[in-house]
Structure 1
Amino acid sequence: MISVEDWAEIRRLHRAEEMPIRAIARHLGISKNTVKRAIATDRAPVYERAAKGSAVDAFEPAIRELLKATPSMPATVIAERIGWERGITVLKERVRELRPAYLPADPTGRTQYLPGELAQCDLWFPPVHIPVGYGQVACPPVLVMVSGYSRMITARMIPTRQTGDLIAGHWRLLSDWGTVPKMLVWDNESGIGQGKLTTEFAAFAGLLAVKVHLCRPRDPEAKGLVERANGYLETSFVPGRTFTGPDDFNTQLGDWLQGANRRLHRSIQARPVDRWEADRAAMLALPPVGPPQWYLFHTRIGRDHYLRIDLNDYSVHPRAIGRRVQVTCDADLIRVVTDGGDLVAEHPRCWARHQTLTDPDHKSAADQMRGDFIHAKAAAAARSRTATALAPDNLGIEVEERQLDTYDRIFTLIQGGAGQEENR
C-alpha cells in the first residue's frame, strides 16, 4: 500500500506533468499496476484492518430480541439472560450501539416566542464579595429576567431570596420596563413556589394579572434563555470589576446592560433593542398599585419596641408599644405605620446580618418615657405610704405598737420565750 504523499504525487505527475504511467513507475520506483490504481481512484489510500469479529457477534440476535421486547433493559440483565460469561465491558459497548434502534425517538423542536408572550426568570449568584456594611461582605442574589421574543435582559441585586424581596425585585424590574409579560417562567425556587406558588407570590401574580409557570424539577432546558444570560453576565460583566456595595453593583450592572442589549444576538440574528418595541407593545399594562405599598405584614409592638426583619432588629418609636402596626419593606426602605396612619419608624434597609439599628429619636423618647414611668411609680408609692400613715389618726383609733423583742420571745428566739414558759 502506498502512502498518501505518493498517491498525491502520482496524480500530479499524471495530470499536471502528463507523464506516462511507465515513466511515473520508473521515477517513483513502484509498479505500473500501483500507478494505475492510484490514477483510477479519487480517494486517498486508507489503511483498514480486516475485521476479526467479536465474541458478542454470536449473541447479537438474542440481544436484539431482548431489546425489542424491553428497550430499557440494563446490560447486566441482558448478560444474565443470554448466559454471557466474558467481560461485561465489550457487551455493554454492543448494547449501547444496538439500543437506540429500539428506543422511541425524542426529537427536540426549535421554540418560537411571540411578542409579549413570556419572560424567563432566575436567580444568579455572582462569584464576588459585596461589602454590605458593618465590616461584612456577602454574595446577595441577582434577579435576572429575559424576554422571550426580543431577548432583552434586565437584572438587579436584591437582599435575599425570600418571597418579599423577590416580589419587590420583580416590581422594580417590571417598572423599569414599564410593562408586564403575559407569563413569567420560574424553576422551583422556594420563595416563588415548589410545585405550587406561595400564597404571597400567587397574590402578586394576581395583581399583575399574569400566569406563573413553574418548570419541572431538573429541567434546565425549559428556561435556557435566562440560564445563558446568567453565564453571559458571569463571563462578560463580572471580570475585572470591583464593587463598593449593592448600590454600586446595580449602577454598574445597569450601565453594562444598556450596551449588552445592543449587541447582535446570535440566535435571533438581531439586536434586542430593535425588537423591544414590538415586544413591549404586546405586553400587559403595569398595574397602578405597587406591591411595596400593597404587600404588608402586621404585628404588635412589645415593650422592647424593636422589629426583627431578616435577622436585623430595627427600633420603633416607643409610643407604638402595645399597638398594632403595618410594616412595609423593600430593598431600600423599611416603614412602620400604626393602624391610625402614624409613622413610627423609617429605616434604610440593612443588607448586613445580626445588627441592631436604633434611631436616636427613638432612644431619647424611650429614655424620657422610662424616666417619667419611674417617677410616676415612685410618686404613687409615696402617696400610698402617706395615706397609710394618716389613716389611724383620721379614724380616731389607737394602734398598739409592740417592741421587736416581743416577737422574738413568742417564737422562742431569746430567753423568756413561750416555749420556756411551758417547760416551767
Structure 2
Amino acid sequence: MLYVDIHRLHDRKLRISQIAKQLKISRNTVYKYLSMTFEEAVEEFGPIERKKKLDPYRDWIVNWLQEYPSISGAQILDWLQERFPDIVVGESTVRRYVNEMREIYHIEKTNEPREYEAVVEQPPGKQMQVDWGQTIQKNTQKKEIKLYFIAFVLAHSRQKYMEWQDRPFTTQDTIRCHENAFRFFEGVTEEIVYGQDNLIAVNENAGDIILTKEFQKYVKERKFKVYLCRKADPESKGKIENVVKYVKKNFALHRVFSTIEDWNEKAWKWLERTGNYKVHQTIKKRPFEVFLLEKQHLRKISSPLSEVESNPTEIITRNVNKDNTIRFQSNRYSVPIGTYTKCPQVKLQINGQQLIIVNSTTGEILAKHTISSEKGKLIKNTNHTRDRSKSIEALKRHVLNLFQREEKAKQYIEEICHIYGRYRRDQLLLLKKVAEENPQWISAALEKCMGEKLYSANAFRDVVDYLKRQQLHPIPKIHVASATSVSIPVETRDLKDYIQRMGGNMHE
C-alpha cells in the first residue's frame, strides 16, 4: 500500500519532500520506492519477512513511541536494557529500528516546545550578568586550540565587557576579571547574576547560597548581591547568554589566534567598534549611549584590591602525593593535610618567584610558597601539619592544670616531651585522658613515677591502674605467730679430736 500511495502522489506531480511530509516518511524511503517496480516491491516487502534482532521487543518499542512521540533511540535502548538486562544490541541498530517503526506506524517525532515569557527591563544600575564561554580557534600554525572567556553585560544599557584566556578560569582569575570589568564600567551594580558555576558557588542551598571561600571573601569586600540562577531558568540570564553567542559568532568565528595579548586587544576593539556601538535589537539604541546615563547610577568602587593577583605567567597541573605534597622543579611543596583524598589533582600558578597551588575544581588557593632554588628540599608551611586545633604549649598547660602539684607535674611533663619529642602530642593527649578519667589517683601516680623515674604516659597509666586495683582489691596481709624460744643442746667435741683427724700434733 505504501508503494501504491507513493507512486499515486508522484503521478500527481508532487515533489519528493511533499510526498514524504504527507505520508510521514523519510525522503530516502520515497526515492527507494520510486526506483522499484511493483514486482520488486512485492519481492522485497512481500510475505517473506526478514527477522530482525529487535522483533521480540517490537510491541514494547511501538507502545513507547506511541505514548512518548519525542522519545529518542538512545533512551529506548536504555529502557530495553533496564527491563531486559541480558539484551545485547548496538545503539545504531536500535536507532534504525526505531526509525523504521516510526515510518511503519506513522509516528512522527515531536518536539515539546518550552514556553518563555518576557522579562521586565531592569532599571539603571540595578543588575549585571556574568557568564563564561569557550571556543575552538586556529592559530597561525593552523592548529586548533581552545580559548576561554568571561563576559559581562549591564542589564539596562547592554554595555558589554569580556576577557580571554588560553587556559580554564580559576576563582582568582574570575575575581581579577571582575575588578577589570568594574574599572571598565566605572562602578558596580546592586546585584550580579550568575549561573551555577563551581568557580563561585558550592551549593544553591535552598536560597542560602554557599559560595566558594575565595569568592565569598571577595563579595563581602565589594559588597554586591549575588543572584544565582536556578537550573533550567534561561530567562534569568538571557541577556548574557545572548552576549556569549554574539561573541562566539561575530567576534571569534574564523578569527586566527596568535597571542592571548593580541587576542584581548582585538576583543576590546571589537567591543568599541561593534559590540557596544551597533544598535541593540531589543532596546533599539546603541549600548554605549545608554551606558553614559546608566553609569551615573553605578556604585563607585574603592581602590583595587591588594589580594587580587596579577595574571600568572605559567600554569601547570600536578598530582598530589600521598604525603600531601606536590613536586615542582626537583623539590616538594606541602599542601594542607587531607588534600590528597579530597583533591588528588591541583593546578600550579607561577607568579614571579611565588608558587600558588590551586584546587583545580573550585579554584580555591590551597597554598603559597616561595620557589626554592635548591634541589631535593621539602618546603613546608607550618599550618600544613596534622591537627593544629591546639598548639603543643596550650595542650601542656591544659594537662598541667589537671594536677594539684603543678611544679612536680611540670617537671614530669617537660621530661616526657623531651624524651618523646616526635610523639609528644600523643603522650600529652594520653596523659590528659588518664588525668581527666582518674583525678583521685594522679597525685599518687605522679609521686611513684617520679620516684622510680618512669617518664612515659603509658607507664603513668599503668601506675594509675595499679593504684586503683590496690585500693579496690587489696592483698590480704598474712600474720605469722612468733615462735617460743626452745633450748636445744648442741654436742661439742674437744679440739684434740679435730687435730688428730687432720694428722697434726697438739704440741707442734
Give the TM-score normalised by the residue count of structure 2: 0.39
Q: Which has the higher contact order (CA 8 A, sep 6+)?
A: 1
